[in-house]
Structure 1
Amino acid sequence: MASFVGQPSIKGSTETTRMALLTFAAVGLQVTWGIEMTYCTPYLLQLGLTKSRTSLVWIAGPLSGLIMQPIVGVVSDGCTSTYGRRRPFMVLGSIVVAACLLTLGWTKEIVSAFVAEGEFRKTCTVTLAVLAIYAVDFAINVVQSCCRSLIVDTLPIPKQQTGSAWASRMVSVGHLFGYVIGTMDLVQIFGTSFGDTQFKKLILIAAFSLMFTVGVTSWAVTERVLVSEKDEEPRDGPIKIIRKIFKATIQLPPRIQAICWAQFWSWIGWFPFLFYSTTWVGETYFRYDAPQHVKQSKDALGDIGRIGSMSLVIFSFVTFLGAFILPLLIRSPESERFTHRPPAAIAEVVTKFNKYKPDLYTAWLCGHLMFSGAMILAPFAHSFNFATTLVAFCGLPWALASWAPSTFMGVEVNRLSSTTPTYERFPLSRRNSNPSSSSGTPLTPRSPFPLHLENGLSDDNIASTGELSGLYFGILNIYTTLPQFVGTFISMIVFSILEPGKSPELADDAAPKERLDRDGPNAISVCLFIGAISTVGAAWATKKLRDMQ
């Protein structure tokens, strides 16, 4: 039995404002992820790493997610801070991410201050850059884990799909913002102050965006305060935390297990797309469309980043539209009384098609097939326009991939609570809290007794209630990160076979024999093709989930 005091609340006079503030941190998270995925691969290639070694660097993403999100989920579940269970981790994590991003952006300058010029300096520069990427990934997973759990903790079941939809919208806003600024020549616009390269300026923007958006969400949301987990038991140690995660993972309820497997197969396909699509579009342009003077550019990193970002701007715009429109056209996984009501301006149109609206299970299944169909064509993209079209087409599947798993998991975690009606005691706005009441503060319950959430399973160590959203979302992230190890292994093999040397498009010291070959295979496109095959498995897993309704 866990004891809570207080009322979860969000500043704002309308539901739209409250949902936007609750999920606003997702904008900064996505800006940071987007800039890292867009620029860090070509940045490492420019430092002289081969593609096969660069693919090993990206183990940082799945490794950090595999380790940090479940552990942080469990630790934050038991956090008794007066500021709540999630927000302290969000704020501290964003500060660490910002510091590590600055280290990554100024790696050469930091190393040159301590190491004399030569091969050893190059080695140290690459090493520090890789370590900074690992540190960024570990810290940002702390923030991301708590942001997801904060939504589940704050909203009741009827609002879980709305909250997840708004999170998807904020992700699409972050995507769009990050990729739009990536297409601009920031050095030419702002000069060399605060960074003399495109990469450094984008690093500054990412650091500021994350700290600002997390700060806004932390200011706007008030959490319940955990008084105690189990008065008779000491706080969990590291071994017990790991054992709890393992035990919960192998004893997942059937529907949560099905959600996790659909996510697993899906992310084998999405991982190479998210990390390599910008580089792939830029390389396609350099191979088939770029004039000679562009191929001889001294800033190939900036050129490929800007060119690749142009395609992702279109991708993000499609995702943005999908994130705002699709929730109006898709039925909730809950009953019809929980379905989001569209704005009055389009209510009549939506009503006419209401009986034909697909449920979220079917929409997610179709999203898998759409993504698979697009990426199967990747090896045949021999022009910038075709590659851009394929990337843009994946915007709608990505909107669904960002929205559906969180919705299903949020609903299931709250369903497992035996005290769902207690949500009615916690309004979403401070205006519903009466400061003059006997409680005296929004963090004090209306009744003189703390809130109790009863565990739904006989084994208290892996109790399945709304209080353990951090644990279950951490487990979902395990199924999101494990396929990234698979994707990294596949990418390493493909790169080693098809493009074993240094990047002919980016490496400053690439040998003449490694220069561009229009007829040679593009290794990234092969990785995208393999991922597309895996996504067919995700569609099959999603069908099984739908059949379990």
Structure 2
Amino acid sequence: MSRWTGQPSIRGSTEAMRMALLTLNTVGITFVWGVEQTYCTPYLLSLGLTKSKTSLVWIAGPLSGLIVQPIVGALADESKSKWGRRRPFIVIGAILSAFCLVTLGFTKEIVGYFVSDEKTAQHLTISTAILAIYAVDFSINAVMSAARSLVVDTLPIEKQQTGSAWGSRMSAIGHGIAYATGAVDLPSLLGTSLGDTQFKQLTVIAALGLVFTCGVTVWAVTERILVASRHDPRKDKGGFKVVSQIWHTIVHLPPRIRAICMAQFWAWIGWFPFLFYSTTWIGETYFRYDAAHDAKDSGDALGEIGRVGSEAFIVYSVITFLGSWILPMVIRSPDDESYTQRPPQSLRSTVEKLNKYKPDLLTAWVCAHATFAFAMFFAPFATSFRFATVLVCLCGLPWNIASWAPSAFLGVEVNKLSGAAGSSASHRRLSHDSNIELEEMNELSNSSLLSPDDSHSKSTTGQLSGVYFGILNIYTTIPQFIGTILSTIIFSILEPGKSPELAHNAHPDEHHGTDGPNAISICLFIGACSAVVAIFATRRLRYL
């Protein structure tokens, strides 16, 4: 039996305010990802790396997800900190990420302070930038793992879709802010107080935003405290207990959770190149087909590619933001076939008539795979950055659902496995004079999960939510390794040299050509093929 003390709660007078505070840290997390995805690829190319070597750098993302998220999730599940199981990891991870972000932005200055030789400094700058990217990815994955589990732990089972939808909304806001900020000429607007280049200023702003948003979430949420965890013989294996627990859970995944993970696996073979290379693809398409000759000779090609890609992704972000609000209103929750939103009184009769025509979340997820595949099949045929922008924008709503559906389905399944059956869950107190509760083997305590004053909420808190979400992330990161290997091979064949737009310090003979198909577009096309497989993998959930 597990013992707990305290009650989980969120500050705020309305449900919308509580959901916003609970998921606000997602804004900071996605801001960081947005800056990294938009600027780091062209930044590394500007330092002189080839595309094939740059693609190998992005193994940092899947490697950190594969290692950090499951381990942090498992460690947090067993944490008996007086601050809660998740919040300490959020705070520490956010501070480390902010420090590494600033290091990444000012790599040249940091290396130049210690090394005077130009050639040596160039090599050290590349190495330091790569190490900084790895450090950012590892620390931000710790924040992500704890943040996702915090939502599952805090919300009742009937609010899991709502929590996931709010996370998707905050993600859209974070990306929108990142792309809008990237599209603005920051040095002209802010001067040089935060740095003398666009990239430096973005890393500083992203670092401050991450610390602020995570700090607000940690302040707003109160977790219940684990006093003593349920005894499990697998946890008595010394230093390997965490790995042993994760492996045992993977081997014995329930069928529905395994199906969710497999759908995520195939989908992310497509999403990985889209997320990391699409802004660079749009920028390169612009330079290849649309840009004037003098723009190609610009001394700030990195900023130009970043701004063109960011401008295109502003439209994409608007679509994802609107979708994150509208889609939850027209899609049924996975745990309740009778789920409906509460519409305004003036629209209630109309909405109630439409409720029976609402698709369920599973159908929406399948349609999202199909839409993404359709758009990316045309990527190799884009000969205008405007057409490339249209293809990217078609993926806005699919990304909404892709970032929301797996968490919603998994949150429901984890809470069902934990025995969180609403009012039927039971608990007993250790004594009448103690605030410590005992958790039965298959049942969780009733608790107030949304507001300190709401004493009638249903229970949830899945004890192993960190492990299960870490395993879902394993199925998200393994395809990223596959995508990295495929992109490395494709880049080596189609574009083996250095970037002609960015690597100005390279000899002309070292530059790759621009006559053949864009290598990134081929990676996107392969991702579309994987999305087709994801359609069939997702449909299996309906029959389990």
Q: Answer whether TM exceeds 0.5 for this pair.
A: yes
Q: Distance in 2 between matches of 1:232 and 1:350?
A: 49
Number of the residue aligned with 1:99: 99
Q: Distance in 1 between matches of 2:503 and 2:107?
A: 17
Cα pair distance change 1:303/1:347, threshold 3 Å: farther
1:293 positional shift: 1.0
CA contact (8 A) 2:157 2:422 kept: no
Is 1:495 aligned to residue 496 of structure 2? no
1:3 positional shift: 1.0
1:530 to 523, 526, 530: 526
Residue identity in the other structure for 1:418: G
Q: Distance in 2 between matches of 1:411 and 1:116?
A: 57
Number of the residue aligned with 1:186: 186
Number of the residue aligned with 1:484: 480
Cα pair distance change 1:170/1:447, threshold 3 Å: farther
CA contact (8 A) 1:19 1:166 kept: yes
Identity of aligned residues (%): 60
Residue identity in the other structure for 1:479: Y
1:119 positional shift: 1.7
Residue identity in the other structure for 2:440: E
Q: Distance in 2 between matches of 1:505 and 1:274?
A: 21
1:334 positional shift: 1.4
1:521 to 501, 514, 517: 517
Q: Distance in 2 between matches of 1:78 and 1:404?
A: 27
Cα pair distance change 1:419/1:266, threshold 3 Å: closer
Cα pair distance change 1:541/1:232, threshold 3 Å: closer
Cα pair distance change 1:425/1:212, threshold 3 Å: farther
Cα pair distance change 1:448/1:389, threshold 3 Å: same
Q: Distance in 1 between matches of 2:498 and 2:35?
A: 23
Is 1:66 aligned to residue 52 of structure 2? no
Cα pair distance change 1:326/1:250, threshold 3 Å: same
Q: Distance in 2 between matches of 1:100 and 1:446?
A: 49
Number of the residue aligned with 1:506: 502
- Matched residue of 1:227: which SS? strand
**TM-score after normalising by structure 2:** 0.93
CA contact (8 A) 1:51 1:495 kept: yes
- Matched residue of 2:13: which SS? coil
CA contact (8 A) 1:258 1:541 kept: yes
Number of the residue aligned with 1:172: 172
* 1:366-406 Cα distance to aligned partner (Å, 9 max, x none): 00000000001000000011000001110000000011000
1:125 positional shift: 0.5
1:116 positional shift: 1.8
Higher deviation after alignment, 169-178 or 351-360:
351-360
Q: Distance in 2 between matches of 1:425 and 1:305?
A: 54
Number of the residue aligned with 1:264: 265
Number of the residue aligned with 2:452: none
Number of the residue aligned with 1:429: none
Residue identity in the other structure for 1:24: L
Counterparts of 1:47-126 in structure 2, within 5 Å, are 47-126=47-126
Number of the residue aligned with 2:448: none
Q: Distance in 2 between matches of 1:321 and 1:288?
A: 31
Number of the residue aligned with 1:226: 226
2:471 to 450, 468, 475: 475
CA contact (8 A) 2:380 2:521 kept: yes
Residue segments in structure 1 that go unaligned for 5+ positions in a row: 427-438, 458-463
CA contact (8 A) 2:498 2:511 kept: no
* 1:51-75 Cα distance to aligned partner (Å, 9 max, x none): 0000000000000000000000000
1:84 positional shift: 0.5
Number of the residue aligned with 1:332: 333
Residue identity in the other structure for 2:539: K
CA contact (8 A) 2:497 2:512 kept: no
Number of the residue aligned with 1:275: 276
1:454 positional shift: 3.2
1:421 positional shift: 3.9
1:506 positional shift: 1.1
Counterparts of 1:36-47 in structure 2, within 5 Å, are 36-47=36-47
* 1:156-189 Cα distance to aligned partner (Å, 9 max, x none): 1110011111111000110111100110000011
CA contact (8 A) 2:27 2:173 kept: yes
Q: Distance in 1 between matches of 2:79 and 2:15?
A: 28
Number of the residue aligned with 2:446: none
1:115 positional shift: 1.1
Residue identity in the other structure for 2:516: G
Q: Distance in 2 between matches of 1:260 and 1:528?
A: 22
* 1:271-309 Cα distance to aligned partner (Å, 9 max, x none): 000000000000000000000111110000000000001
Counterparts of 1:442-457 in structure 2, within 5 Å, are 448=434, 450-456=436-442
Residue identity in the other structure for 2:22: L
CA contact (8 A) 1:362 1:546 kept: no
1:542 to 527, 535, 538: 538
Q: Distance in 1 between matches of 2:21 and 2:474?
A: 27
- Matched residue of 2:403: which SS? helix
* 1:521-543 Cα distance to aligned partner (Å, 9 max, x none): 10000000001100111111111
* 1:472-508 Cα distance to aligned partner (Å, 9 max, x none): 0000000000000000000000000000000112111
- Matched residue of 2:3: which SS? strand
CA contact (8 A) 1:19 1:163 kept: yes
1:339 positional shift: 3.5
1:204 positional shift: 0.7
How much is the aligned-residue C-alpha RMSD, in angstroms? 2.2
Number of the residue aligned with 1:461: none
- Matched residue of 1:467: which SS? coil
**TM-score after normalising by structure 1:** 0.92
Q: Distance in 2 between matches of 1:423 and 1:77?
A: 24
Residue segments in structure 2 that go unaligned for 5+ positions in a row: 444-459
Is 1:388 aligned to residue 428 of structure 2? no
Q: Distance in 2 between matches of 1:344 and 1:47?
A: 58
Give the number of equivalent residue pairs: 526
Q: Distance in 2 between matches of 1:260 and 1:511?
A: 46
- Matched residue of 2:356: which SS? helix
CA contact (8 A) 1:453 1:467 kept: no
Residue identity in the other structure for 2:409: F
Residue identity in the other structure for 1:7: Q
CA contact (8 A) 2:497 2:511 kept: no
Number of the residue aligned with 1:357: 358
Number of the residue aligned with 1:310: 311
Q: Distance in 2 between matches of 1:60 and 1:446?
A: 51
1:452 positional shift: 2.8
Number of the residue aligned with 1:250: 251
1:513 positional shift: 4.8
Cα pair distance change 1:446/1:327, threshold 3 Å: farther
Q: Distance in 1 between matches of 2:386 and 2:120?
A: 41
- Matched residue of 2:89: which SS? helix
Residue identity in the other structure for 2:157: I
Q: Distance in 1 between matches of 2:238 and 2:147?
A: 24
- Matched residue of 1:196: which SS? coil
Q: Distance in 2 between matches of 1:232 and 1:328?
A: 42
* 1:220-243 Cα distance to aligned partner (Å, 9 max, x none): 000000001147988774311101
Residue identity in the other structure for 2:30: Q
